[in-house]
Chain A
Amino acid sequence: MTTRALGFGSFLLLAVAAYGLFFIASPDRVQGDAARIVYFHVPMAWVAFLAFFIVFGASIAFLRTGNERWDRLGRASAEVGVVFTTLVLITGSIWGATIWGTWWSWDPKLTTTLILWFMYLAYLMVRSYAEAPRGPRYAAIVGIVAFFDVPIVYLSSYWWRTLHPQAVIGPLADQQPSSSIVWVLLLSLVAFTVLYAFLVRVRVEIEQTDAALSAARGDFAHAGT
């Protein structure tokens, strides 16, 4: 599938998900329209987890093989994952302001998510500022260690007393939501996953073009001496 097709597909799916958000999903009896934030807050959190899982896998593959392709994939996925985690924190904070009456609470779910965000920022900083060949290797180690926070974030609302609502759908969900909620949520999940694939693909293309340019510059400089 080409990059252009992925971009067009994600745009189309997001438009359909936005229609579902406003016209199919009904507002919550207690939370009102603030509950609609869940339809993009939850899928973005899932996509961030997926992005960090890809970083985890790519980091292991890079350390085992030394192939730069895995390093490029890990870096691209980490950057996109950080963008999605930033949005998860912002949209969650807006939801909290309406329902809890506060923009931020040092709740286990929120705190572990903030730690996750800082850890992947650290990954990107190590990858950017440490010189090759050590930089990619150090970043890969950070990418593996940081992933252990992902299950902690997911399970924090079960392990500790928390204000954050528990899972709406999935194996740990304690109640079955209505079918319209499930459909709009799943549609939104697919749309954001395709968007993630598109953004990572473009980001990897940037890495590849940059590497080819640097190699050509190196060859040119080498030929000039």
Chain B
Amino acid sequence: MLGLDHNAAYLLWALGITVVVLGGYGLYLRSRLTGLRRRAGAQAQTSGYSARNVTAAAPMVSTAHAASSANGPTTP
């Protein structure tokens, strides 16, 4: 049963340090993992956009080239 004596301050101090260190370390790992996942998500999104832009830009460039060509439009 709980009935703490004069050494209880040391016990609570040791327990408190353990909880703070392990809790702090757990939070540090969690924030680091969340940050890395966010960066990975952002990177995947960026590479997806750039891939789409490259695909979308290709016909525009060829159309512009055809319109500004000295030979005029290539379509009949």
Contact = CB atoms under 8 A, between A and B. Distances in A.
Interface of A: 18, 21-23, 27, 31-34, 36-37, 40-41, 44, 83, 86-87, 90-91, 94-95, 97-98, 195, 199, 202-203, 205-206, 209-210, 212-213, 216-217, 220
8 contacts: A18-B15, A33-B10, A34-B11, A90-B21, A94-B17, A202-B29, A202-B30, A213-B39
Contacts, number: 85
Contacts of A213: 36, 39-40, 43
B2 A23 contact: yes
In terms of DSSP, what is the predominant structure of the interface of chain B?
helix
Nearest to B8: A33
Given A37-B14, A98-B7, 14 more contacts: A32-B6, A34-B10, A36-B11, A37-B15, A83-B21, A83-B25, A87-B17, A95-B14, A195-B22, A202-B30, A209-B33, A212-B40, A213-B39, A213-B40
Nearest to B30: A202
A98 B2 contact: no
Given A90-B17, A220-B47, A32 B36 contact: no
Nearest to B40: A213
A33 B21 contact: no
A27 B36 contact: no
B4 to A, nearest CB: 5
A95 B7 CA distance: 10
B63 interface: no
A27 B14 contact: no
A216 B37 CA distance: 13
A40 B15 contact: yes
A22 B1 CA distance: 7
A31 B7 contact: yes
Q: Which 6 A-B pairs have the closest CB atoms?
A: A34-B7, A209-B36, A32-B5, A94-B14, A91-B14, A32-B7
Nearest to B6: A32
B7 A33 contact: yes
A37 B29 contact: no
Given A36-B11, A195-B22, A23 B1 contact: yes
A64 B30 CA distance: 32
